[in-house]
Amino acid sequence: MRSNQKQELIIVKDMDSDREKAGLKRNISQIGNTITFELKKNLKSFVIMLIVFTSVFFLLLLISELKLAQDVALPAESVDYAVDYLTQFFGFLIIISASLFGGSIIVEDFKKQTGNLLFPKISKTRLLIGRLASRFTLNAICVSFYYILISIVTLAKYGEIPNTLWASLGWALFYTFTILVFVTFMSSIMRSTSATIIVSILFLLIVFNIVAMFLRFAGLTMEPLFLLTYYEGIISGSLAMPNPRYADILMPTPGGGDPVTFTMWLTPTEPAALIGMLIYAGIFLVFAYFIYQRRQSKSE
């Protein structure tokens, strides 16, 4: 009797194990299928953004060559030359790219009423993971290609590639992911893709900068670690960390009085950037997920 019970218990455990393996395999398969589908779906946007990144790079290269033609010497160090490509327009490119790829990531299910038409049945968790993975991949390729172009021209002019350029690439990808998660959060609360893109760009390019400007004009000298766009500074700062990490700006006063000094922070430290972006990405991802689930339950 006991032997039969043991055999039945073993059979039940084996069946449970098989179900778990089949369930895990199905989950991975669904995420993979979502990634493949989203990569194909966003291929046109990817080509457009790749052209934009490339065009901006060659525009900056042309400006550099025109300066050389006017006898303006190149920076003495290769790292300073590479920084020029990362402080002009690059943060703007990341914001535009992340907004374009992430604008529809959640809102499209409700705008087009596709939330109840997904077949085969897939959970919102796996769907969101697949979409985030695919769209970040497309963003990452654009950003990485931009860095490849920088490395090629830097190698051609200086015979070397700064080692810190690859660390900067890592920070650029991390910042891109954080911006993408922010746009994903905006997509979870907006009613259309176009509204998500516009509002996200307004916040990232205007609102955060206005807050930073207000803090400077108010005479506050605290480091603005609570501003998402402040972390863009680590991309160029990791190439050549400034010391000090802030700049004092003298603003003349009416009537010829003594100028007023304002403090402008340039970049966080690497540990602060890591912690800050992890917190930002974590908070916005959690909020986006729960809002996504709530909207879906209301639409059913």
Q: pLDDT tens digits, residue range 157-191?
A: 999 999 999 999 999 999 999 999 999 999 999 98
Residue 227 identity: L
Q: What is the mean pLDDT of residues 197-205?
A: 94
Which residue has 């490395």 as its token pair? 151
Reported confidence tier of residue 73, pLDDT bands at 50, 70, 90 = confident
Range with the poorest average pLDDT among 24-38, 146-160, 175-189, 263-277: 24-38
SS3 118: coil
Instruction: Kindly give, in sequence order, each residue whose CB lies less than 8 Å from that of residue 181, ignoring residues fewer than 6 positions away.
Output: 132, 280, 281, 284, 285, 288
CA 295 vs CA 104, 180, 292, 299, 300: distances in Å = 15, 20, 5, 6, 9
Taking alpha carbons only, the member of 266, 218, 202, 211 closest to residue 238 is 266
Q: What is the mean pLDDT of residues 224-250?
A: 90
Percent of the chain with pLDDT over 90: 55
Angstrom distance (rounded) from CA 66 to CA 249: 29
Reported confidence tier of residue 264, pLDDT bands at 50, 70, 90 = confident
Instruction: Report pTM.
Output: 0.88
What Rg value do the Cα atoms of the chain yield, rounded?
24
